[in-house]
């Protein structure tokens, strides 16, 4: 791939151990790895490609720790606009049952384009329904095509309505088949090496859609192979009530009883995680994917992120699925995280820089990676460039870094993933966005009309 130099950055936000912000900063990349970071004057002046970042704030690529990309086909669906989690799911399950492989591929590619333009370079995706021949490969192929660093999670639902679960029986899978497919996916695709572009994690969907046995067996398999574990937990009051009624435990107690705590586990939401749960997660290194927009959209509540932060819980950000956050914008998610913590816990509950840290280092830690989330020698070459020339930043250049979070969420001008320029001049260069959006609209209409 050769060498790539990004130089003259207005500010280079490193997120390194000293949290340095370098004026007139530069990054020198060889192949897919960062070799040098510093002031432009102190770095090499030549490279195979040189990108001038004189109008930009340069950041480590943002990390999205929770998403359901297929849901980009069902944004703003009238039947699910004004419901809380369980009603919202029950309105959408019958629609999602019509998902087909071609729709899944197009939806994932579209969701990834949206994420890349918003500053995200690494994303997780939680795919937990596989109707009509859909496979995890449909999303993996989309990531490979677009050039995004990807943590594909093999989700699952196995407890249908007739067994006391929430989803319709027609959407659940047999548990032996789920485990067999999980094993196949890990053996085929999982890359545990540094700078990996693709990892697999196991992700039974939620306590109200899978059995305790499947939770335990998924944990055993994940640990055998050294892959991550991901699910939804303590999302809202109904979720907690289900756990108490069905298992006679809080969600955190249930997770612990199934072996679902540890640095290899990350739980989405945790809006209603209690003090015991926060302590447990801090002690065990268990991660949280905080999804503020979705939590507001479904009126789930305000996750105690400030408290988690004080206790040392690993917290990253997730945009969550596009049916519960109809705008999957990573920088926007950081902004909402900051604003929502302030609504809940006061004006000093989260600063702009803390929000950016959640979106970079926080996400990297939650996904179990030490090679992304910061710009430093030896890290993967993932960086994004935001221009501050737009009207949204007028009058905000007193503090360009804080402005990125306080002002309206901007799209990137340039995005580099694993040493490759994937967004250039504000356009994703690996897909034909116009054609893709036409296909996406066609798929969305077909899915909604059954
Ligand atoms: Zn979710």
Mean pLDDT by 10 residues, the chain (450 residues): 96 98 98 98 98 98 98 96 95 97 98 98 98 98 98 97 94 98 98 98 96 98 98 96 96 98 98 98 98 98 98 98 95 98 98 98 98 98 97 97 98 98 98 98 96
Query: What spacing in Å lies between the alpha carbon of 202 and ligand 1's midpoint?
Result: 14
Q: pLDDT per residue over 294-333, tens digit each?
A: 999 999 999 999 999 999 999 999 999 999 999 999 999 9
Distance CA 229, CA 212 (A): 14
Residue 450 has what pLDDT?
87
Instruction: Tell me if 233 sits within 8 A of 267, measured CB to CB.
Output: yes
Locate tokens 């004057």: which residue?
Answer: 41
Distance CA 287, CA 270 (A): 10
Residue 339 has what pLDDT?
98
Query: What spacing in Å lies between the alpha carbon of 415 and ligand 1's midpoint?
Result: 26
Distance between alpha carbon 10 and the CA centroid of its chain, in Å?
A: 27
Query: What spacing in Å lies between the alpha carbon of 215 and ligand 1's midpoint?
Result: 17
Query: What spacing in Å lies between the alpha carbon of 66 and ligand 1's midpoint?
Result: 6
Tokens of 330: 């990573």
Is the pTM higher than 0.75? Answer: yes
Residue 213 has what pLDDT?
97
Distance CA 179, CA 185 (A): 10
Query: What spacing in Å lies between the alpha carbon of 161 and ligand 1's midpoint?
Result: 20
Residue 133 has what pLDDT?
97
Query: What spacing in Å lies between the alpha carbon of 321 and ligand 1's midpoint?
Result: 6
Q: What are phi and psi of 164, to 5 degrees?
A: 95, 5
Query: What spacing in Å lies between the alpha carbon of 286 and ligand 1's midpoint?
Result: 17
Residue 266 has what pLDDT?
98
Query: What spacing in Å lies between the alpha carbon of 232 and ligand 1's midpoint?
Result: 6
Instruction: Tell me if 197 sits within 8 A of 418, measured CB to CB.
Output: yes
Residue 408 has what pLDDT?
97
Residue 1 has what pLDDT?
78
Tokens of 143: 């990531």
Query: What spacing in Å lies between the alpha carbon of 84 and ligand 1's midpoint?
Result: 13
């Amino acid at each position: 791939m050769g060498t790539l130099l990004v130089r003259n950055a207005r500010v280079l936000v490193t997120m390194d151990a000293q949290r340095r912000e370098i004026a007139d900063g530069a990054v020198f990349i060889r192949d897919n790895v960062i070799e040098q970071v510093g002031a432009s004057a102190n770095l090499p002046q030549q490279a195979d490609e040189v990108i001038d970042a004189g109008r930009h704030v340069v950041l480590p690529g943002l990390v999205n720790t929770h998403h359901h990309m297929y849901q980009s086909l069902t944004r703003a669906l009238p039947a699910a606009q004004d419901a809380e989690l369980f009603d919202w799911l029950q309105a959408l399950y019958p629609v999602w049952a019509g998902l087909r492989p071609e729709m899944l591929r197009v939806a994932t590619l579209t969701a990834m384009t949206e994420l890349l333009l918003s500053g995200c370079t690494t994303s997780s995706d939680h795919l937990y329904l596989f109707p009509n021949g859909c496979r995890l490969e449909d999303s993996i192929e989309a990531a490979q095509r677009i050039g995004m660093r990807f943590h594909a999670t093999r989700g699952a639902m196995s407890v249908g309505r007739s067994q006391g679960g929430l989803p319709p029986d027609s959407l659940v899978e047999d548990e032996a088949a789920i485990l067999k497919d999980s094993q196949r996916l890990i053996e085929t695709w999982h890359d545990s090496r540094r700078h990996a572009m693709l990892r697999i994690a196991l992700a039974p969907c939620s306590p109200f859609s899978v059995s305790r046995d499947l939770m335990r067996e998924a944990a055993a398999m994940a640990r055998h192979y050294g892959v991550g574990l991901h699910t939804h937990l303590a999302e809202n009051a109904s979720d907690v009530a289900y756990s108490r009624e069905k298992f006679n435990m809080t969600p955190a107690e249930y997770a612990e009883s199934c072996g679902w705590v540890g640095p290899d586990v990350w739980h989405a939401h945790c809006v209603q995680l209690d003090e015991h749960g926060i302590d447990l997660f801090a002690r065990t290194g268990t991660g949280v994917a905080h999804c503020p927009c979705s939590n507001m959209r479904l009126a789930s509540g305000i996750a105690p992120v400030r408290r988690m932060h004080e206790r040392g819980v690993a917290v990253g950000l997730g945009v969550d699925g596009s049916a519960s956050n109809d705008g999957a914008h990573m920088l926007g998610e950081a902004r909402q995280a900051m604003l929502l913590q302030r609504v809940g816990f006061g004006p000093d509950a989260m600063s702009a820089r803390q929000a950016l840290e959640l979106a970079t280092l926080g996400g990297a830690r939650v996904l179990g990676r030490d090679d992304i989330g910061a710009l430093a020698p030896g890290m993967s070459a993932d960086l994004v460039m935001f221009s501050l020339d737009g009207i949204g930043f007028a009058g905000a250049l007193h503090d360009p870094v804080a402005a990125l979070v306080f002002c309206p969420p901007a799209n990137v001008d340039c995005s580099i993933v694993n040493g490759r320029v994937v967004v250039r001049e504000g356009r994703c260069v690996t897909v034909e966005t116009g054609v893709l959006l036409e296909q996406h609209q066609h798929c969305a209409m077909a899915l909604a009309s059954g």
